[in-house]
Every structure is written in structure tokens, then in C-alpha cells.
Amino acid sequence: MAYDDPIGPVSAASMESVLRRDLDQTLDGGVLSASSPIGVAMGVVRNGDRRVFAFGNAAPDGIFEIGSITKTFTGLLLALAIEQQAVQADTPLRELLPQGAVVQPANGSEITLLDLVTQHSGLVRACRVIPAEGPSQPIPRVR
């Protein structure tokens, strides 16, 4: 498969044409074909300009379980807070929670911010507050 040469930075307004050029060539006719249930949506924020792009069977106003990508954002935010000396990696989580909040893992030890971002807190793996509506609707309707 041959790809077009990469291009330099683009404005948010012209990003859709770049994404379509790169994604259509790679994914159309494959995982993002018209008959596929798969879709990709992405958001871009730059200098206050917000854009949402959707490909395949996804809509710009779709609702998704974002899952593990939150780990990346959480880690980045913790790194920034440590860099700004607002917290330390070994800061206990209880020091940052509202009074009366209780968070204790199964092993009973103190949870630190480092435990949270390295997924070593001992907290339960997942909690489904809103049940799925079946295999055809893995993400409940929340509108």
C-alpha cells in the first residue's frame, strides 16, 4: 500500500480534508466500509477552536465509552501537577478527596496518586452503573 507524502501543520478548519485523505485511503473498503459497524470519531481542540471528525459508522454527536484512553490523560495531568509542585506522586488520595469520602482498596493499603496512574490502587476494575441494552447496544442510551 502506498501513502501520500506527509504534509506540514494545518489549521483545524482544513484538518478534515487531511484526515479524509489519510483515513479514507487506509480504512474505506476495510474496517470502515459502509457495511461495517465500526466507526472512528476524534476531537481536536487548538487555540479554542473545537472540531469533531467522524468516519465510518460514527457520528460527530455520538456517545462512546472512552475506556482506557483516560489513563493517558490522567497520567499527563498528574505529571503536570507534579511538575508544578501542586502534588507529589506519593500524595495519598484521601488528602485530595472531600471530607467524608472513603476510598480503600481490597488490600487495605493507602492509595497514592502514583498507584492510580499505574493501575496499582487495588480498586475494583470496573463498575457498570448503566447496564448495556444487549449485544446490539453495548453502550446504553444516555441522551
Q: Helix (H, G, I), strand (E, B), or coil: what is residue 75? A: helix
Give domain limits for the chain.
12-56, 69-117
The sign of the dihedral angle between the CA atoms of 110, 114, 119, 125 is positive
User: 55 phi and psi, to 5 degrees?
Assistant: -135, 155
pTM exceeds 0.75 for this model: no
Give which of 135, 133, 139, 112 is closest to 123, Cα–Cα.
Answer: 112
The 10s digit of each residue's pLDDT in 64-75 is 777 778 888 889
The 10s digit of each residue's pLDDT in 33-92 is 777 788 888 888 878 888 888 888 888 888 877 777 888 888 999 999 999 999 999 998
